[in-house]
Amino acid sequence: MGAVAALSQAAPAVRPVWTALHVAALVWGLWLLWQGRQPLWLSTGLRSPGQATATARLVPAAALARAGSLQPQFPPVAQATGGVWRATAAGALWVAWPCGMLQSALMVAALTGTPGAGAVAMGAFAWASAPGLVLAPWLWRRFMSGPAAASRQRLLTRLGGAVLLGASGWALLHGLGPEVAAWCGLT
């Protein structure tokens, strides 16, 4: 979104794309807030309707050997997206799109000046972020277990929708506000 916003400042032709992305995010936030769940097309991903209802499961290699079949069993994501190559491509795209914290750590490492100092900076980032990466899934599993897990899931989805609604509304207000004010003669 930041790149699209920067492009919109440089090229007015991109401004409608920036606005359309924020309107789509606004609608998505409203959907999450109202429904408390992801849209069906998003929750099933790229799976076909038949695959969306089927549950894929991994088969251990020992069980395959006993059954006389050594066919490779790919994870459900690879099966659901149409094969291991599409899953690999999606993973490669994910690697090319790191999070903001990793981007800032890479920038700090690049600015250190030497490869050794950069390695120390990245090591410090890994050491500092490892506890959160280990504890967060454990805490999430504990929080999402039990009889109230479904209601907690809906509550968190609605909370995410509210945050998305607020962020996209703020961006639209600040991005389009001056144009609307000028059009209405308020400036």
Q: How many residues does the chain have?
A: 187
Q: Provide the pLDDT for residue 96.
A: 65
Distance from C-alpha of 69 to C-alpha of 129, rounded to nearest angstrom: 41
Let me know if residue 64 belongs to a domain. Answer: no
Let me know if residue 14 belongs to a domain. Answer: yes
Q: Which two tokens stand for residue 4?
A: 């699209």
Let me know if residue 65 belongs to a domain. Answer: no
Q: What is the tens place of the pLDDT at every residue in 66-84? A: 555 444 444 554 455 566 7
Distance from C-alpha of 155 to C-alpha of 150, rounded to nearest angstrom: 9
Helix or strand holding residue 122 (H, E): helix 115-143
Distance from C-alpha of 104 to C-alpha of 4, rounded to nearest angstrom: 20
Q: What is the tens place of the pLDDT at every residue in 163-175? A: 999 999 988 888 7
Let me know if residue 58 belongs to a domain. Answer: no
Q: Which domain holds residue 105?
A: 2-46+81-184
Backbone phi, psi, residue 11, to 5°: -130, 110
Let me know if residue 11 belongs to a domain. Answer: yes
Number of domains in the chain: 1
